[in-house]
Amino acid sequence: MSGVPSGTRLEFVTEAGSDARLDLLVAARADVSRTQAATWIAGGQVVVNGRREKAAYKPEAGEVVAVTVPPPAARPIVPQDLPLHVVYEDDDLLVIDKAAGMVVHPAPGHWDGTVVNALMGRGGSLSDLGGPERAGLVHRLDKDTSGLLLIARTELAHRRLGAALAARVIVRRYVALCWGHLAQDVVDVDKPLGRDPRDRQRMAVVQGGKAARTTLVRLARFDSVDLVRAHLHSGRTHQIRVHLAHVGHPVVGDDTYGGGGGRRLVKLPGKRHFLHAARLRFSHPVSGEAMDFRSPLPADLAETLAVVAKDPTLASHPDALDAFGFYDEAGR
């Protein structure tokens, strides 16, 4: 999905010595994947000095590349009867506990099997403030991140919750297991994030990126890993994962950002990283009631924690995070 609104016309002049393919140049300027850029080129949305070229064409220095960002292709969202763990619901909102491996909303490559498909399959109202593909979503979680997700049923609830999220008064706490040991018990990472210029499917710390800040609090230090509570001060894509990788301690099991090795040592399943949205605290958007939800570690992560802590009882603990003071924030 483009970071530039549809209908926007982008123009740029090719610099000397770039020697880059047209699809790569367009992908970088429009903040899209190389595949998406190639699709635009084939569809005539990209011209070089007024003429159409192929994706592999390498513009010469001084040539003007013009891109007209097309609207996203309309595609119906199909309601589906899928397992969904709802921990709370009323007329205004829902809180669900998302399983790892489930995509949050439909997008190219994942048009079904998502949280939104499942929500629509349950019936009942959902806010359409974000469009049908993101019906009800106040925030998101990565595919392989499990935990608490907030859903709005009405536009009023969606607007108020969105404003609270922007004002950072909704408290979201994540637990992560990271490789190695943090330099201090509390590490504040304040680094801007954007698309990785070398791989548009990844995010990275980049100059000129969007402001992003994560506070990392070490809860326990084990032989080769740290147990960390992550405090989000902003909500960028892959923020915790990128910030931990940036300080040299990637999330255990995170293939994308360098933490994928060593799964067998900690008994972590494939295609799973140790990142879980364990706490969500906010004021109800209509009644004003204080809402506080906790999600204990899923069984696979609890088993990994038991292995690294060398304490088998943690695998069956009703909430292993409580044993490490995860929820103890003195009311914060």
Alpha helix segments (H runs only) across the chain: 22-30, 34-42, 115-122, 155-166, 239-246, 263-266, 299-309
Question: What token pair was written down for 90?
Answer: 């009323």
Could you say which architecture CATH assigns to the domain 9-68? Roll (3.10)
Radius of gyration of the chain (CA): 22
Q: Where are the domains of the chain?
A: 9-68, 85-166, 171-324
pLDDT tens digits along 32-84: 888 888 999 998 999 999 999 999 999 999 999 999 988 766 678 899 999 99
Contact by Cβ (8 Å): 136, 124: no
Contact by Cβ (8 Å): 45, 11: no
142 belongs to the catalytic site: yes
9-68 matches 85-166 in fold: no
Query: Would you state the pLDDT for residue 34?
Result: 86
Q: What does the DSSP 8-state code read for residue 51?
A: B
Query: Would you state the pLDDT for residue 69?
Result: 86
Stretch 233-258: mean pLDDT, rounded?
95
pLDDT tens digits along 205-230: 999 889 999 999 999 999 999 999 99
Which of 142, 144, 226, 254 does the annotation list as catalytic?
A: 142
Stretch 9-27: mean pLDDT, rounded?
86
Query: Would you state the pLDDT for residue 320?
Result: 95
| 67, 70, 122, 260 from 10: Cα distances, Å | 5, 12, 42, 38
Q: Report how far residue 222's alpha carbon sits from residue 226's, in angstroms, rounded to the nearest whole number.
A: 6
Question: Using 50, 70 and 90 to split pLDDT, how confident is the model at 331?
Answer: very low
Question: Using 50, 70 and 90 to split pLDDT, how confident is the model at 6?
Answer: low
Query: Would you state the pLDDT for residue 332?
Result: 45
Q: For residue 62, what are the contacts with CB-CB under 8 A and spacing of at least 6?
A: 13, 14, 16
Would you say residue 330 has pLDDT above 70?
A: no
Contact by Cβ (8 Å): 301, 171: no
Question: Using 50, 70 and 90 to split pLDDT, how confident is the model at 1?
Answer: very low
Q: Report how far residue 283's alpha carbon sits from residue 256's, in angstroms, rounded to the nearest whole number.
A: 35
Which of 225, 215, 278, 217 has its CA nearest to residue 249? 225
Amino acid found at 50: G
Q: Report how far residue 140's alpha carbon sits from residue 149's, in angstroms, rounded to the nearest whole number.
A: 7
Q: Minimum mean pLDDT among 107-121, 177-191, 290-304: which range?
A: 107-121
Give the mean pLDDT of the chain. 91
pLDDT tens digits along 266-316: 999 888 999 999 999 999 999 999 999 999 999 999 999 999 999 999 999
Query: Would you state the pLDDT for residue 144?
Result: 94
Q: Minimum mean pLDDT among 28-32, 45-49, 189-193: which range?
A: 28-32
Q: Which CATH superfamily is domain 171-324 in?
A: Pseudouridine synthase (3.30.2350.10)
CATH topology of domain 85-166: Pseudouridine synthase (3.30.2350)
Question: Using 50, 70 and 90 to split pLDDT, how confident is the model at 182?
Answer: very high
Contact by Cβ (8 Å): 327, 229: no
